[in-house]
Structure 1
Amino acid sequence: MSDLQIRIKQAVAKAAVEQIRSGMVLGLGSGSTAALMIEALGEKLRQGQLENVTAVPTSFQSQVLASRLGIPLVDLNHVEAIDLAIDGADEVDPGFQLIKGGGACHVQEKLVASAAHRFVVVVDASKLVDRLNLDFLLPMEVLPGAWALVRRRLQSMGVECELRIAQRKAGPVVTDQGNLVLDARFPGGIGDGAALERQLNSIPGVVENGLFVNLADQVLVGEATEQGIHVRTLARPDGP
């Protein structure tokens, strides 16, 4: 990651943290931009600019980082609701449909986002696309004993689909829930995310997919221009 990319991600992460208020229950996302957001939150807590904040992590990664920074954590089962969830995305289309799951954390990320009163997405401009899935594959978390069955079912629908293999260990990627991940490309990309989400989750063996539909309330976009690094705010087309 270049120094410019890091500074863009830091800018958008800090912009998101400005929305946090003392006493909130937060959802802490996963990934590189979310990690910078967690670091900025930890600094505000350390300086006393925020207090009485508790957070629900969306992955082991965010849990470890938040713990190291002294951010109080709570299990999702022990909160009635989340005031604000902040997370990144792998792709965002004009209708605020998202693809998430590049880090294989999308099951817990979707649970936290769906429990939040507000869900704010933090991305750099490269994540904005006209249509989902033309470039980034759609992840699906599947039961270990059913991955081949699910893959055959998807292939029968004309979908390109492969088991995600780990980069620095032998064998497949294993999620925090102990499941596997299939990455899929749909012919022509993804338009009606809501219909596809229902269809995929009806396949036996699929735990959850990486389509986030009707969840994001706001997207913060970091970008570099001739005038410097700026954060642009996008509101959901149909209004929150």
Structure 2
Amino acid sequence: MEAGILVSSPTSSSPLSTPIPSVILTQDELKKIAAYKAVEYVESGMVLGLGTGSTAKHAVDRIGELLHQGKLQNIVGIPTSKKTHEQALSVGIPLSDLDSHPVLDLAIDGADEVDPQLNLVKGRGGSLLREKMVEGACRKFVVIVDESKLVKHLGGSGLAMPVEIVPFCWKFTAKRLQDLFEDAGCVGKLRTFGENGEPFVTDNGNYIVDLYFKKDIGDLKAASDTILQLAGVVEHGMFLDMATTVIVASELGITVKNK
């Protein structure tokens, strides 16, 4: 057990465990199981941060279902992206914003990586800035993942750690970001989409540079501060010391880790 983190193993006697059928489940089915477990933290009258991505989508759908059934009432949602805004409206969740609700009761969202200290990489879906604003305003932040997202250190999956940057002179900013972590074998790539390789544009009108690391980047707080000091950087995808609970779904069951 990691220091400062409580772990509930998936046993039949554990109140934090959820039985999973003894069949081979897809990754999306595991995400759905974790999402439904997270929604158990939701109570009527709460102001909720609604995450973005394939895992969070299941939680938003479930909240809408419970509202429709009358099992939840007087819920207000604060979406973390335009896509989540549209989804929440479609399932009947009343919405507001941080200007009207600067303190939220709970946020539920997925993550791209989770380290043993419950630090996260998020934002591969492109919504890292709004996610960090909303989830940083919450009293409790519940993260839902399948076991493939667990890593020994952030960047350890070999997949992208996103950084949102302004479009102006993006090549200059991307090169400076890459040079910051030269010792970790960092490669920075502009996120693109479509056959013509057009730059991916966030809901805020910015670009994303995805950083890939061959080695551990070391001190996460120092890395965070260094990135944010670069002119042209808007935000990065490291969510440090923000998650209060991480729910991990595997074929063996649910594991709940609490700070």
What TM-score, normalized by structure 1, do the two folds share? 0.92
**Structure 1 Cα separation of the partners of residues 102 and 176 of structure 2:** 37
Deviations 1:84-119 (A, max 9, x none): 011000000001111011101000000011100001
Deviation at 1:187, TM superposition (A): 4.8
Q: Give 1:155's match in structure 2, choosing from 149, 153, 178.
A: 178
User: Helix, strand or coil for the counterpart of 2:192?
Assistant: coil
Partner of 2:257: 234
Deviation at 1:156, TM superposition (A): 2.9
User: Helix, strand or coil for the counterpart of 2:189?
Assistant: strand
Q: Give 2:159's match in structure 1, choosing from 136, 149, 153.
A: 136
CA contact (8 A) 2:25 2:251 kept: no
Partner of 1:219: 246
Deviation at 1:160, TM superposition (A): 1.2
Partner of 1:177: 204
**Structure 2 Cα separation of the partners of residues 71 and 125 of structure 1:** 29
1:63 aligns to 2:109 (yes or no): no
| Larger helix proportion of the pair | 1
Partner of 2:94: 72
**Structure 2 Cα separation of the partners of residues 151 and 20 of structure 1:** 40
Q: Which runs of 5+ in 1 are unaligned?
A: none
CA contact (8 A) 2:178 2:211 kept: no
Instruction: Report which structure shows greater RCO (CA 8 Å, sep ≥6).
Output: 2
Q: Give 2:236's match in structure 1, choosing from 179, 203, 209.
A: 209
**Structure 1 Cα separation of the partners of residues 119 and 194 of structure 2:** 28
**Structure 1 Cα separation of the partners of residues 195 and 133 of structure 2:** 28
Partner of 2:17: none
**Structure 2 Cα separation of the partners of residues 165 and 156 of structure 1:** 21
**Structure 1 Cα separation of the partners of residues 69 and 61 of structure 2:** 12
**Structure 2 Cα separation of the partners of residues 156 and 98 of structure 1:** 23
User: Helix, strand or coil for the counterpart of 2:72?
Assistant: coil
1:88 aligns to 2:110 (yes or no): yes
Deviation at 1:19, TM superposition (A): 0.5
Deviation at 1:170, TM superposition (A): 4.5
Letter in 1 for 2:30: I
**Structure 1 Cα separation of the partners of residues 102 and 175 of structure 2:** 39
CA contact (8 A) 1:132 1:191 kept: no
**Structure 2 Cα separation of the partners of residues 79 and 54 of structure 1:** 9
What TM-score, normalized by structure 2, do the two folds share? 0.86
User: Helix, strand or coil for the counterpart of 1:52?
Assistant: coil
Deviation at 1:192, TM superposition (A): 2.0
Letter in 1 for 2:99: N
**Structure 1 Cα separation of the partners of residues 120 and 194 of structure 2:** 25
Partner of 2:216: 189
User: Helix, strand or coil for the counterpart of 2:78?
Assistant: strand
After the TM superposition, which segments of 4 or more aligned residues of structure 1 sit over 4 Å from their partners?
none
**Structure 2 Cα separation of the partners of residues 155 and 17 of structure 1:** 38
Q: Give 2:128's match in structure 1, choosing from 79, 101, 106.
A: 106
Q: CA RMSD in A?
A: 1.5
Query: Which range is displaced more, 102-111 or 191-200?
Result: 191-200
Identical amino acids, percent of aligned pairs: 41
**Structure 2 Cα separation of the partners of residues 13 and 175 of structure 1:** 25
Deviations 1:158-206 (A, max 9, x none): 2311101114664011000000000112451333221111110110000
Q: Which runs of 5+ in 2 are unaligned?
A: 1-23
Partner of 2:16: none
Count of residue pairs brought into register by the alignment: 231
